[in-house]
Amino acid sequence: NAGVTQTPKFQVLKTGQSMTLQCAQDMNHEYMSWYRQDPGMGLRLIHYSVGAGITDQGEVPNGYNVSRSTTEDFPLRLLSAAPSQTSVYFCASSYPNSPYNEQFFGPGTRLTVL
Amino acid sequence: DAKTTQPNSMESNEEEPVHLPCNHSTISGTDYIHWYRQLPSQGPEYVIHGLTSNVNNRMASLAIAEDRKSSTLILHRATLRDAAVYYCILRFTGNQFYFGTGTSLTVIP
């Protein structure tokens, strides 16, 4: 299994540009989520999905959109990039809603917005 | 939302035990206590979790206070590869994890 994969690894955008961060998992996990991590900080939840066709907002959803058309993929879209969105983005997945299931994280996408 | 409190940083000598504390005084009866760690330039990885009883696995042990308001992650013999940020997290139903800033562990050779 490849686990959780994210592309690209690095990205530089100009203010106002849009882009999509890709996330895929091959473990048949129902639950997927996106986090951002700012320098010296912990991870903050952006959006999450408990299955195909179902998404919900996390702690910091503004400026981001998500959709979940398949179990495997959970892309994160930046609609109009801003310097405040400069961060490292992590995707994670786990088995369905359960308080004891571990989450598997991808390697991250480092995004810089100029 | 239940939150956790951890020291910002700790140091340990290589091959000595490390005790990483976490306070979670607002924990509810159904919250599981999870520990994750994040190695430099990597995504977090699962370490251990528990509810009420102490837990052991190949990576670490988790000691949970009787009132569940605190817990301690124990690395039995720290290695240089254990240098990381360790996060103590309370997991609710709804699959939402709330990460704090964690404890940055430095292992001294």
Indicate yes or no: CB of A40 within 8 angstroms of CB of B101: yes
Digits of tens for pLDDT over chain A (114 positions)?
Answer: 789 999 999 999 999 999 999 999 999 999 999 999 998 888 899 999 989 999 999 889 999 999 999 999 999 999 999 999 999 999 999 887 665 678 899 999 999 999
Average pLDDT, chain A: 92
User: Cα–Cα distance between A33 and A44 in angstroms, integer?
Assistant: 10
* Minimum distance, in Å, between the CA of residue A96 and any CA atom of chain B: 8
From chain A, pick out residues whose CB is under 8 angstroms from the CB of B45: 105
Between chains, do A48 and B96 touch, taking CB under 8 Å as contact?
yes
Single out the residue of B73, B86, B80, B101 nearest to residue B12, CA to CA.
B80
In the 3-class helix/strand/coil scheme, how is A30-84 assigned residue by residue? CEEEEEEECCCCCEEEEEEEEECCEEEECCCCCCEEECCCCCCECCEEECCCCHH
| Distance between CA atoms of residues A78 and B88, nearest Å | 30
Binary contact (B97, A103; C-beta < 8 A)? yes
Q: What is the Cα gyration radius of chain A?
A: 13
Find the closest chain B residue to A100 by CA distance.
B32
According to DSSP, residue B5 is labeled: B
For the stretch B38-84, pLDDT in tens is 999 899 999 999 999 999 998 899 999 999 999 999 999 999 999 99
Q: Does B96 touch chain A (CB under 8 A)?
A: yes
Which pair of tokens denotes residue A46? 């952006």
* CB spacing of B91 vs A99 below 8 angstroms: yes
Give chain A positions within 8 Å (CB) of B42.
107-108
